[in-house]
Chain A
Amino acid sequence: MTQDVIEQLFRFHYEKMFLVALRMTGNPQASQDIVHDVFASLLESDRSHVSEAFLMLSVRNRCINLIRDISTRERILGLYALETEEDSDATESATDFREIRKIIDESLGRKCREVVELRFGAGLKYKEIAAELRISETAVYKHLRHAIDKLRNTLNKNG
């Protein structure tokens, strides 16, 4: 396929494909990689056109393979989905990440939000967060637990 066609397809379908991958793998970086891989394989293929269904199916298959192939350890470290969509229970169905961002911004206390930002936005380790905010590591844990509780309660109430 030509680059122009690929770009057009990419711009049109990327977000939807990404969200499907995110729902299945739970990991944003991996989701982007998967969608990129799908388009990379199109670059080399001699198809003249592809359907949306084909693109979505490609994403799904790659997600299933990925989740099947990585170890529990890797899953936990990358906070991946614990299982693929097929056999997941209700807790695995994700709310839109933008909504959750809103809840975090609006309902957590300042310190707690700072901890969440440093941990999940900047990707710092607990020790680094503690040093950065001049609090103990135990306090970092405490803030994160609080954030978990708050978020779960809010989501349960809404859902």
Chain B
Amino acid sequence: MDDIDKLLEVTEHPEKYSDRKLEELLDNTETRESYCTLREMRNAMSAGHYADTDRAWETFRAKHIAKKTETVNRRRRVFFSDRRAATVAVWMSTALLCVAATITIRSIKTREKTEIETRKETAYPPYSPRHKTSRPEIEAKASATEDIRIFDNETLATILDEMGKHYECKVIFASENSADLRLFFKWDRTLPLSEIMRQLDNFEQIKISAEGNVITIE
């Protein structure tokens, strides 16, 4: 392992190195420059998102102005019928393009119910390796015939509402706060519910469980 490999390792696992080792590693022009390049790459891929004034303002307003006063009781129950079954079959037939959902969390709860418009151009472009070419425009629209649905800064309530319909189960929010949590979540509708729940459970702020066809969020 040379220094550049170590640098790559260190940006993910700094705990594997002692403070002195870290200093030593970066005390070298070559690795330092590579570090800067890594940073510039990261910024190239993600800073556009944070640089957007409209978005930044919405976040600011949600966080500092529309302060949480009293939360509306938002216990939600979702019921539905079998009419989705046919659509599910269509989805299943295209199920081979299976992509593990990638999750990026952003933003904290807000009382806002207004949906921030789904943006066609996101800083984190929709991504699907098994598709031949990148198809951001198609995926961003996420029409009902697509397997991938991208929730961009949408509330957990909205997300689970849609999932509940798709998987035909009931969704219960045990706490109001979690319903208002906003997420960036890439949902692969071809994946089984258990897998999606596992992915959601990875979020620190979400505790999700299922019994029969009732999903509970604590």
Chain A residues packing against B (C-beta within 8 Å): 3, 7, 10-11, 14-15, 18-19, 22, 26, 28-29, 31-32, 35-36, 39-40, 43, 72-73, 76-77, 79-82, 91-92, 94-95, 97-98, 100-101, 103-104, 114, 116-126, 128, 131-133, 141, 144-145, 147-148, 151-152, 155
Inter-subunit contact B11/A121 (CB<8 Å): no
* Residues of A close to B60: CB separation below 8 A: 10, 36, 39-40
Inter-subunit contact B57/A7 (CB<8 Å): yes
Give the CA-CA distance A155 to B100 in the complex, in Å.
Answer: 34
Partner of A91 from the list B11, B33, B46, B125 (CB cut-off 8 Å) is B33
* Residues of B close to A97: CB separation below 8 A: 40, 43-44, 47-48, 51
Nearest B residue (CB) for A101:
B44
What are 8 inter-chain pairs, A to B, with CB distance below 8 A? A32-B50, A76-B22, A79-B39, A82-B32, A92-B36, A100-B40, A114-B127, A125-B12
Chain A CB within 8 A of B129 CB:
yes
Partner of A36 from the list B14, B19, B42, B63 (CB cut-off 8 Å) is B63
Interface string of B31-61 (1 = CB under 8 A from A): 0111111111111111111110100110111
Inter-subunit contact A104/B41 (CB<8 Å): yes
* Residues of B close to A81: CB separation below 8 A: 39
Shortest Cβ distance from A9 into chain B, in angstroms?
A: 11
Partner of B8 from the list A7, A122, A123, A141 (CB cut-off 8 Å) is A141
Chain A CB within 8 A of B124 CB:
yes
Inter-subunit contact B104/A123 (CB<8 Å): yes
A35-B56 CB under 8 A given contacts A43-B64, A122-B124: yes
Inter-subunit contact B5/A72 (CB<8 Å): no
Chain A CB within 8 A of B102 CB:
yes
Main secondary structure of the interface of A (DSSP, over half): helix
Number of A-B contacts (CB under 8 A): 160
Inter-subunit contact A22/B47 (CB<8 Å): yes
Inter-subunit contact A120/B50 (CB<8 Å): no
Partner of A152 from the list B33, B59, B102, B125 (CB cut-off 8 Å) is B33
Give the CA-CA distance A82 to B37 in the complex, in Å.
Answer: 12
Nearest A residue (CB) for B46:
A28
* Residues of B close to A28: CB separation below 8 A: 43, 46-47, 49-51
Nearest A residue (CB) for B29:
A91
Give the CA-CA distance A132 to B49 in the complex, in Å.
Answer: 24
Chain B count of residues within 8 A CB distance of the other chain: 50
Main secondary structure of the interface of B (DSSP, over half): helix
Inter-subunit contact A124/B102 (CB<8 Å): yes
Of the candidates A118, A119, A133, A147, the one having the most CB atoms from chain B within 10 angstroms of its own CB is A119
Chain A CB within 8 A of B197 CB:
no
Inter-subunit contact A121/B127 (CB<8 Å): yes
Give the CA-CA distance A14 to B52 in the complex, in Å.
Answer: 9
Inter-subunit contact B63/A79 (CB<8 Å): no
Nearest A residue (CB) for B5:
A141
Give the CA-CA distance A148 to B4 in the complex, in Å.
Answer: 10
A22-B33 CB under 8 A given contacts A15-B53, A97-B48, A133-B129: no
* Residues of A close to B32: CB separation below 8 A: 82, 91
Taking A121-B124, A148-B34 as given, write out 16 further A-B residue pairs in contact, using a Cβ cutoff of 8 Å, ordered by the A residue number: A10-B57, A11-B53, A22-B51, A28-B46, A28-B47, A72-B26, A76-B35, A91-B36, A94-B36, A95-B40, A118-B102, A121-B45, A122-B104, A123-B104, A126-B12, A132-B99
